[in-house]
Amino acid sequence: MYLLIHMVPAKIYHYLLEPNPVLVFYFVRCFLSVGCALSEVYFYKSVCREFGIHVARLTLAFLILSSGMYISSAAFLPSSFSMYFSTVATAAWYTRRYELAVFTTAISSLLGWPFAALLGIPIAAEMLMHKQEWSRFIKWVLISGLVIAIPMVWVDSMYFGKLVVAPLNIILYNVFTNHGPNIYGTEPFVYYIVNGFLNFNFVFLGALFAPLGLFLVWLIVPARPRDSSCLPYWYSLAPLYLWFLVFFLQPHKEERFLFPVYPMICLAGAIAVDTVQKLYFYVRTKLNPSHIGCHYLQYTAHITISAMVICGLLGLSRSLAIYKGYYAPMEVMIEANKLGTEGEVPSDVSVNFCIGKEWHRFPSSFFLPSNNWKLQYLKSEFKGQLPQPFLDHENATSVIQAHFNDLNKEETSRYFNLDKCHFLLDLDVGTETALEPNYSRLGDHFTILKSSGFLNASKSHPLFRAFYIPFVSHKFCTYGSYNLLQSNKLKFLILSSKQKSSKFS
């Protein structure tokens, strides 16, 4: 069901405009970006109501300029999908539109990522315990089930040929098995701290310490009571810190796991800046009592501007570093797509497109020109389970194929013979092993068609590979070559195919 939702814009573009799969790929990403932007606008307006225009403007600046939002906004991932709708749910909660909050939380957790339901706990708690609106809560839970859960189960079950409740399967596998997700790798506690700083720089650190700042303001800064229609600070930010509490303690950590709370990180960072301004103004009025009658924003505008400029420049610097360092696979695959769409490789030829150690950087099968191009895997140092395509015949999604396991163990049936590869995607950083030879330098077997620079992180300075500084970073960073290789045997295959075509024409 999740895939079919995204198929709608892809099909519309395919039928109305250019059918090139690469353009469909980028159109879907643009569609996701627009959806993310709309959720951010609604979130901004809700923050204006709940926290004031000053905090809202800071939040908007951090949303626009942060590298974290740049990464997550267009990612075709359930966690990004959950981010859009969890953001809407939180915004609806801030404006007391409880029906919308419950419904969008259901979309986020049922169609997207079931763990996103965690963000709905404070919303449910307020409705049930504080507002005592049991009937409205139950009503919208039932409506959500009828509108979302039942069609989802029906569609998924139809495609898989058996009863499938996808969110339940995800929870059972990750929570109620002996191994859980830890078989896919574990990270130390500081992983999210480092990752959060890279994606949000000082905004993330501010988000971590916002509760302390709010406590100090409450303790020492005299202020008028907050509007009774607003939620207490600790409660309005509860979804963020509840998420941190749960996911920081999990051994298996991934960057995408924090996507659903990225907008709230920007909000908490903005609140942290606001608390610094209030504390600064309080100290200033103690030293110079003549300012007591003034508003704190009059004398702390430089803090606002400094926070926006410093955090914004760091966010842009990080985004540029990601683009310049890691865009090569997309660029090279666009060239591979042109080989088929521009007639370099005849459409009647079956093409084996191979990847070895670069399996995890392959952007998408949308970059392959047509269905006669097949993605194949070469054996590498990776010892986990690689993907396997569906069968080609009708009802293929309902066929349970052999050679699968749920323990991420290597399945040798996935591997392909190098001699049968027509094209190969390879990264040349000057190193090789027995299972990962430097294919780019096997001149007798392959010809390099396209090459693009790819950051060699192990040989680059940690600071300058993380943040791009014009005219400086290139001096401290080393790049390898990301190459599209063509088998020398393919030349004869193409030649014979063209000769055959000309003979019949």
Whether 249 and 353 share a structural domain: no
Whether 281 and 324 share a structural domain: no
Whether 327 and 268 share a structural domain: no
**Is residue 398 in a domain?**
no
Whether 256 and 358 share a structural domain: no
Rounded to an integer, what distance in angstroms lies between the CA atom of residue 429 and that of residue 163? 47
Side by side, the strands of the sheet bearing 479-487 are 373-377, 351-355, 423-428, 479-487, 446-455
Whether 259 and 367 share a structural domain: no
Q: Among 267, 286, 305, which residue terminates a domain?
A: 286
Rounded to an integer, what distance in angstroms lies between the CA atom of residue 469 and that of residue 427? 25
Rounded to an integer, what distance in angstroms lies between the CA atom of residue 357 and that of residue 292? 64
In terms of Cα–Cα distance, which of 63, 154, 144, 134 is closest to 109?
144
Q: Among 263, 286, 309, which residue terminates a domain?
A: 286
Whether 251 and 385 share a structural domain: no
Question: Which residues sit opposite 481 in a β-bridge?
Answer: 428, 453
Contacts of 482 (CB under 8 A, 6+ apart): 328, 329, 331, 332, 425, 426, 427, 428, 451, 452, 453, 454
**Is residue 59 in a domain?**
yes
Expressed as residue numbers, the domain containing 491 is 319-389+408-504
> Letter for the amino acid at 23?
L
Whether 49 and 198 share a structural domain: yes
Q: What is the pLDDT of residue 504?
A: 45
Phi, psi of 189 (to 5 degrees): -60, -35
**Is residue 400 in a domain?**
no
Rounded to an integer, what distance in angstroms lies between the CA atom of residue 229 and that of residue 49? 10
Q: What is the pLDDT of residue 227?
A: 79
**Is residue 291 in a domain?**
no
Whether 137 and 253 share a structural domain: yes
Rounded to an integer, what distance in angstroms lies between the CA atom of residue 48 and that of residue 132? 26
In terms of Cα–Cα distance, which of 261, 309, 287 is closest to 83?
261
Tokens encoding 266: 């920007």
Contacts of 280 (CB under 8 A, 6+ apart): 300, 303
Kindly give the confidence (pLDDT) of every residue in the chain, 505 residues in length, as a single tens digit, with 9 standing for 90 and above: 999 999 999 999 988 887 889 999 999 999 999 999 999 999 999 999 999 999 999 999 999 999 999 999 999 999 999 999 999 999 999 999 999 999 999 999 999 999 999 999 999 999 999 999 999 999 999 999 999 999 999 999 999 999 999 999 999 999 999 888 999 999 999 999 999 999 999 999 999 999 999 999 999 988 777 777 889 999 999 999 999 999 999 999 999 999 999 999 999 999 999 999 999 999 888 877 766 667 788 889 999 999 999 999 999 999 999 999 999 999 999 999 999 888 778 877 889 999 999 999 999 999 999 889 999 999 999 999 999 988 888 889 999 889 999 999 999 999 999 999 999 999 999 999 999 999 999 888 899 999 999 999 999 999 999 999 999 999 999 999 999 999 987 765 655 555 555 444 4
Rounded to an integer, what distance in angstroms lies between the CA atom of residue 400 and that of residue 436? 31
**Is residue 121 in a domain?**
yes
Tokens encoding 52: 């004031």
Whether 8 and 114 share a structural domain: yes
Whether 278 and 348 share a structural domain: no
Rounded to an integer, what distance in angstroms lies between the CA atom of residue 365 and that of residue 355? 12
Whether 384 and 257 share a structural domain: no
Tokens encoding 141: 């839970």
Tokens encoding 253: 């950590």
Q: What is the pLDDT of residue 245?
A: 97
- Domains identified in the chain, total number: 2
Whether 29 and 71 share a structural domain: yes
Instruction: Print the SS3 string covering 419-485.
Output: HHCCEEEEEECCCCCCCCCCHHHCCCCEEEEEEEEEECHHHCCHHHHHCCCCCCHHHHCCEEEEEEE
Rounded to an integer, what distance in angstroms lies between the CA atom of residue 32 and that of residue 9? 10
User: How would DSSP label each residue in 40-109?
Assistant: HHHHHHHHHHHH-HHHHHHHHHHHHH-HHHHHHTT--SHHHHHHHHHHHHHHHHHTT-HHHHHHHHHIII
**Is residue 353 in a domain?**
yes
**Is residue 6 in a domain?**
yes
**Is residue 295 in a domain?**
no
* DSSP reduced 3-state for 19: coil
pTM listed for this prediction: 0.94
Q: Among 232, 265, 286, which residue terminates a domain?
A: 286
